[in-house]
Amino acid sequence: MTRVKKGVNALKSRRNILKQVKGYRFGRGTKERQAQEAIFHAGTYAFAHRKDKKGDMRKLWTVKINAALDPMGHSYSKFMGALKKKGILVDRKILADLAENNPQVFERVVNQAK
């Protein structure tokens, strides 16, 4: 069996790892083993927080809709219930956008839901 030296491949993988952790603090940005560990953790957090972001956006839409309904004397929960009863299929994302950017159109939707 011939001898295989892995200098080129080891250097390439080390370079790729250290390129990914550029800007990390302390040893995590310079030491290969700590950098590898940092990459694993970063990937885990990125996956989990992508899921969290969806919930955060929904909470934000709720706040925007409720803020727009407040001056009209409506509550968020009763408004959403009225929409369901009337069969108006507009999701929270669109309602929040209407409330923020087109208040007249949002007011018409509210009046239809009554």
Give the pLDDT mean for 47-57.
96
Q: Name, in order, each residue with C-beta under 8 angstroms of 67's C-beta and a sequence gap of 6 or more.
A: 99
**Overall pTM > 0.75:** no
Q: Which of residues 13 and 4 earns the better pLDDT score?
A: 13
Please report the pLDDT score of residue 114 as a whole number: 85
Residue 13 has pLDDT above 90, yes or no: yes
Residue 4 has pLDDT above 90, yes or no: no
Domains defined along the chain, listed by start: 8-113 (1.10.1900.20)
How big is the CA angle at 72 (ends 96 and 106), to the nearest 5 degrees?
35
* CA dist 92 → 2, 32, 62, 86 (Å): 65, 46, 7, 16
